[in-house]
Amino acid sequence: MMMQKYHFRYGLSWAVISVVSIVCVCVVLLFVRWFIVERVLSGKTPSLMIGGTTYAIELASTDIERTRGLSHRDGLCSVCGMLFIFDAPDFQSFWMMDMRFPLDIIWISERHVVHIEHRIQADDKRILRPDVKADMVLELNAGAADNLAIGESVVFLR
């Protein structure tokens, strides 16, 4: 008789743990949705629109931020990116050192796309340096720039 009672409690504790885990996952997903919809689309996070899609952007405007970039991260949200801002237009070079996920890299000059590198793999050893000057470079998840073209306007929302 004692064995059945213990077994019931053991099974009940796993059920409680499962329910609590599911609730926690739902709370996290709701928070992520709130952050993307409420913060990004309401203009509380820096964002830009390119090709009809709005992206929440992190800014990399100092030498240290630009050197670090997205290295050592595991990924970006589907509507997130990093915008590298430079003091003056120049031939900006980028590489995938210490990256863990593939990227699309978009060079921007005077708020227009001037060059795109698609689906650059994390282990790519090349230094990417297009033959066109840019004052900003945008990194997005690989595939995000598939429908973009040279000359596309970049609109800053905040």
Q: In this predicted model, which residue has the larger pLDDT, 131 or 37?
A: 131
Total domains in the chain come to 2
Q: Do residues 105 and 116 make contact, with C-beta atoms less than 8 angstroms apart?
A: yes
Q: 88: domain CATH number?
A: 2.60.120.1140
Q: Is there a single domain that holds both residue 16 and residue 59? A: no
Q: Which domain holds residue 34?
A: 1-42
What would the pLDDT profile of 38-90 be if each residue is shown by its tens digit? 444 444 678 999 989 999 999 988 888 888 889 888 999 989 999 999 999 99
When pLDDT is averaged across residues 101-115 and rounded to a whole number, the result is 97
Q: Is there a single domain that holds both residue 96 and residue 77? A: yes
From residue 108, give the alpha-carbon distance in Å to each of 86, 90, 124, 130. 11, 11, 22, 11
Q: Is there a single domain that holds both residue 29 and residue 66? A: no
Q: Is there a single domain that holds both residue 90 and residue 138? A: yes
Q: Is there a single domain that holds both residue 75 and residue 115? A: yes
**Assessment of whether the complete model's pTM goes beyond 0.75:** no
